[in-house]
């Protein structure tokens, strides 16, 4: 009987704590930090919830090497934390965005890389027409794959950083999974923006 009472009281305590956190909004904030990191991009977890349209007039780019989002594609079971920066340290923890490219919502190219043996190991399975979702602390974005190309790491023209329309460009090393031999090959997947808020021109500021 004493053991049963302990279990009952513990369950009641957990339920009460959940209710308190939910009512105060702390639960949402905890989930935000756990899933996305703390993006500090001008929007709170509450403001970003379900935001897939509209115009953002006050935006701060994430701090260097900070986690600010999540890339997902259910079709190939891709799920990678998104960091602002593309250092070796970042690539050990998730996908990394080239900092001279745009952020989701800025209307240009978002260049994101990842290791072909870890977070981007299924990138080669993506096909034209499939959807890639990017969740951030300031909005939800959706992109549709329209092109796939192979090239060399030195082929900077493949980055298309001056694109006039927003696109997500994901890349990884190619041939896939190769441990020995040449590793200067790159595999690029291009996906055009389908939905998501727009960051007003001139609104973006560096952290």
Express each pLDDT in 174-194 by its tens digit.
888 776 666 789 999 999 999
Please tell me the predicted confidence (pLDDT) of residue 183. Answer: 74
CATH homologous superfamily for the domain 39-205: Sortase (2.40.260.10)
Please tell me the predicted confidence (pLDDT) of residue 181. Answer: 62
Q: Which residues contact 157 (CB under 8 A, 6 or more apart)?
A: none
Give me the residue spans of the domains in the chain.
1-36, 39-205
Can you tell me whether residue 186 is helix, strand or coil? strand
- Supply the mean pLDDT for the chain: 80
Residue 68 is given by DSSP the state E
What average pLDDT does the segment 5-27 reach?
40
Query: pTM score, two decimals?
Result: 0.76
Residue 158 is given by DSSP the state G
């Amino acid at each position: 009987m004493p053991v049963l009472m302990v279990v009952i009281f513990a369950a009641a305590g957990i339920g009460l704590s959940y209710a308190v956190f939910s009512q105060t909004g702390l639960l949402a904030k905890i989930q935000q930090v756990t899933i996305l990191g703390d993006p500090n991009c001008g929007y709170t977890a509450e403001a970003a919830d379900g935001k897939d349209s509209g115009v953002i007039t006050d935006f701060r780019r994430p701090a260097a090497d900070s986690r600010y989002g999540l890339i997902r594609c259910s079709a190939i079971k891709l799920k990678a934390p998104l960091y602002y920066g593309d250092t070796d340290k970042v690539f050990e923890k998730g996908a990394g965005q080239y900092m001279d490219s745009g952020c989701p919502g800025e209307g240009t190219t978002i260049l994101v890389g990842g290791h072909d043996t870890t977070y981007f190991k299924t990138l080669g399975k993506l096909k034209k027409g499939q959807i890639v979702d990017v969740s951030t602390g300031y909005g939800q974005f959706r992109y549709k794959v329209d092109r796939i190309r192979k090239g060399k790491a030195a082929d900077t023209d493949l980055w298309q950083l001056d694109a006039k329309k927003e696109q997500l460009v994901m890349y990884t090393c190619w041939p896939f999974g190769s441990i020995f031999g040449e590793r200067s090959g790159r595999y690029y997947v291009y996906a055009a923006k389908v939905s998501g808020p727009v960051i007003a021109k001139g609104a973006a500021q560096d952290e």
